[in-house]
Amino acid sequence: MPPMTAIRPISSSTIGVPADRLPAHIAIIMDGNGRWARARGLPRFAGHRAGAKVVTKITEDCSNLGIGQLTLYSFSTENWSRPADEVAMLMDLYVEFMREQRRQMMANNIRFAQIGRRDGLPPKVLDEMQISLDETKANTGMTLCLAINYGSRTEITDAVRQIAREVKQCALSPDAIDEKTIAERLYTAGMPDPDLLIRTAGEMRISNYLLWQISYAEFYVTDVFWPEFTREELHKALRNYAARNRRFGGLDESNA
């Protein structure tokens, strides 16, 4: 078993971004694994395996830079419609990933989190997921959150059902329901909303990902396929983000 490698924090200035201009939470739609593999005459799963290696590098770099949370769209509720053999291999890859990354997360004080429905996930995936959750829960560094069996409409539906149950039980008044009420019943309860949403492979859509949470996130889309997404590409996205003026519905004071 390879030795654990601790990540050495670096100053954000080394990538040309002031620390106060870094996003606290980055969400990524990792797209293009299949197209990357097809372009090389490889089976689709070769793209997924290559993409998993990129996850390791980008996680390390985000932790290195002091990013508070990284949330990765790993497997959507719609992905169950893919060929059964591809889904089975993806589940095996998750088990492998959890086992390999757990020691690295412990070595670098990274806390693991998961969002999405657990119903339907294979027991082996749930077992490894729970072990990672338990072993890293006391870590105080970056949170690595995997969205597995996740769909934002499903998430909002589940939240509405929970609110309806509480109203029916007279534990919650309909007049007391506000945005905070809903946010506290989403899978992401207690997590900060993403500041930056990155999508690879040039697709210009959200794909049912964190619809509530990205209301004021900055979008960054690159044509680069996920298996080719390097640290340099991440730094490019961070510099682009840092140059923007986030107004949250207000006025740009420089042009007021």
Contact 225, 33 (CB under 8 A): yes
252 annotated active-site: no
Sheet holding 111-115, edge to edge: 111-115, 143-150, 69-76, 25-29, 196-199, 218-221
The whole-angstrom separation of Cα 59 and Cα 171 is 40
149 annotated active-site: no
Of residues 31, 108, 149, 195, which has the active-site annotation? 31
Contact 31, 200 (CB under 8 A): yes
Nearest by Cα to 7 from 66, 51, 55: 66
Of residues 33, 64, 79, 178, which has the active-site annotation? 79
Which H or E run includes 220? strand 218-221
> What residues have CB less than 8 Å from 179, skipping those under 6 apart?
none
Nearest by Cα to 27 from 204, 183, 237, 225: 237
**The pair of three-digit structure tokens given for residue 231, joined into one six-digit string:** 């640290």
List active site positions. Answer: 31, 79
